[in-house]
Chains A and B, each alone.
Chain A
């Protein structure tokens, strides 16, 4: 989980903040409220998740509880990966 978190943090930092930390941001800071990600940025984020982790995001997944901070993203991806592994065993 720590790996996934670091991975996601690097993506958000490079892709949305272009490496400009401005004092950094904590794992639970809201992307939307802080302006790190805008509405089209959400689409980029989903594209990244689907490519990087080979998971599929449904419409129901696209809510801030899943996508709006490093902490929520990490949980979401971990859950998705677990689900996929579970489905794969069946």
Chain B
């Protein structure tokens, strides 16, 4: 796990060691163990290394035997041992035990389609010196990030956007349409970022740069079967066994490392099952980590204790206060490189720090199960709303929503028309491709009330939806509605927010690598092909997964009511009713007016409401977090731009590095 960066330009001065050094140092937190760079005057590659496999010999950039190919690679190929054996049988000779070298040999063997054989999480670049061609690729689900920009005649790429900005002359501007997507979907729609002219390579895509032209192509797509007709092909037990076998193998190969591997244990079904499987394969007692909150509504420590006791892991918990979340927040935004609407990434940023302090570089986690195996409330809500939409005037169908929203106590006495409007249930809506997500997006759209007049004049409120609709695969319309809802979560929110802002970026801020057994492509493809009713049976979430988990995780964890991961929000920025100093400064009317994004009066009223402790609704909480994160982002990336202490600290820890990077 590492950071990568590079430049391709017709002008040799652009590909200088100096530029490469600036870029890689800016993302040096991703790889504090080693660094290297290469340039031949047409292309330059740089690498900051977090050593996990073949610590002595895995240095990068790495070249093949004849020196025609050079690779920089961030990530892990979990099936590298099997691929290595295969390649060795074909006559390939290996100089190291690293997975990086396996990619190079596979590339020699198969060319650009080599990535279809990889099982792992990666962002990589391979420079073909003879053909002067750059190949870029990113893993199927979007675990590892890769950003790029064209600046003049230069093509520049890096693991993080700040790496691009470290290269002299790259412009830093906010893209207002992208910002509006964040305030609609919680994230930008790939390949956009919130910065103008900065793009990401979408998950499951490769790209080729030749003669200054970039061609981007998918090599894998998340696909669902057409709406099923007839009974499932197998019985439940057979499906459960197949799923468990796949998960076991996914966990087993994710323990491959030359350093100890730990696991996150939230107290929920997914992470507990992963910890249980890892515990079976781990040679020694598994180390687990979790976050605890003082607010009992958010805290899951009683389930964490039960899981730890049941599995017998060596556990470390981090108690995270509201103030700590608020104080860490500006650093978190420096790493997410996008505004966010929830504070969830902050506790995970603090947890990764603890993991690192305890000497761990690698953790297994449970992400992906909710998206692929029917875990989220939005899927339940969808099923109820679909059932209800078939008879939109029904007065009893919406009562099922009580199960989801216990606080809507008086649901039964409310006229159908009232509920219909809130839950967007009209028979005409049922064919809408975004039917499942309409209530969530409508809620987020409520944040736009805080936009300044200038922003409103600039934006077209339907544009974000049109852009997303254009990206839907042709087969989407033929899928079952449940699969469509899953696809929107797994293809967009998962890489756009969960795996990035709440995953890679906050963990790699402390050089901690997450590994995700549920995102093994074999598990993903199997899950996508399952009958939807097995993922969520009636309104029982993760039905099949729970069946798999029996006997492996505590019954209380299987039987518990699912609790979505949430962290304290508004109160983190106003501990004891007073704003943190930076919050007060950023939200001051003069400052908000100068930024031009939000309306100063509206923000002031929101501040008052928060100060009085009157913020209870999701909308207001999201608005506050969204506004603060936007203003922090502008301060850290636009009006100013420097890593400050982070870079200093990196130099301090690695005094010899500059000479190595700059031979």
Contacts and interface: CB of A to CB of B under 8 A. Distances in A.
Contact of A20 (B449, B616, B617): B449
Interface in A43-74: 43-44, 47, 59-60, 62-64, 68
Given A38-B617, A39-B422, A40-B616, A19 B410 contact: no
Given A38-B422, A39-B408, A63 B617 contact: no
Contacts of B605: 14-15, 18-19
Interface string B582-611: 000000000000000001011101100100
A17 B418 contact: no
A81 interface: no
B619 interface: yes
Interface residues of B, number: 29
B442 A35 contact: yes
Contact of B422 (A19, A22, A32): A32
Grouping DSSP codes into helix (H, G, I), strand (E, B) and loop, the A interface class, with mixed when no group exceeds half, is helix
B446 interface: yes
Interface bracket on A: 20 to 34
Interface in B422-443: 422, 442-443
A64 B449 contact: no
Contacts of A14: 605
10 contacts: A15-B605, A18-B599, A18-B603, A19-B602, A20-B450, A38-B443, A38-B446, A39-B407, A43-B616, A62-B409
A19 B446 contact: no
A44 B620 CA distance: 11
A47 B613 CA distance: 12
B414 A18 contact: no
Q: What is the interface of chain B mostly: helix, strand, loop, or mixed?
A: helix
A11 to B, nearest CB: 11
Contacts, number: 69
B396 to A, nearest CB: 17
A39 to B, nearest CB: 6
Contacts of A33: 421
A73 to B, nearest CB: 15
A22 B446 CA distance: 13
Contacts of A41: 617, 619
Interface of B: 405, 407-410, 413-415, 418, 421-422, 442-443, 445-446, 449-450, 599, 601-603, 605-606, 609, 614, 616-619
Given A20-B599, A38-B617, 18 more contacts: A15-B609, A17-B449, A18-B450, A18-B602, A18-B606, A19-B602, A22-B449, A33-B421, A35-B442, A35-B446, A38-B443, A38-B618, A40-B617, A40-B618, A41-B617, A43-B616, A43-B617, A64-B414
A30 interface: yes
Contact of A68 (B405, B418, B450): B418
Contact of B413 (A18, A20, A60): A60
A64 B267 CA distance: 39
A60 B422 CA distance: 20
Contacts of A17: 449
Contacts of A62: 409-410, 413
A20 B421 contact: no
Contacts of A47: 614
- What 8 A-B pairs come out closest when comparing CB atoms? A40-B617, A18-B602, A33-B421, A18-B605, A62-B410, A64-B418, A20-B449, A19-B601
A43 to B, nearest CB: 6
Contacts of A64: 414-415, 418
Contacts of A30: 418, 421
B444 to A, nearest CB: 11
A60 B412 CA distance: 11
Contacts of A43: 407, 616-617
A84 B176 CA distance: 52
Contacts of A59: 409-410
Nearest to A33: B421
Contacts of B450: 18, 20
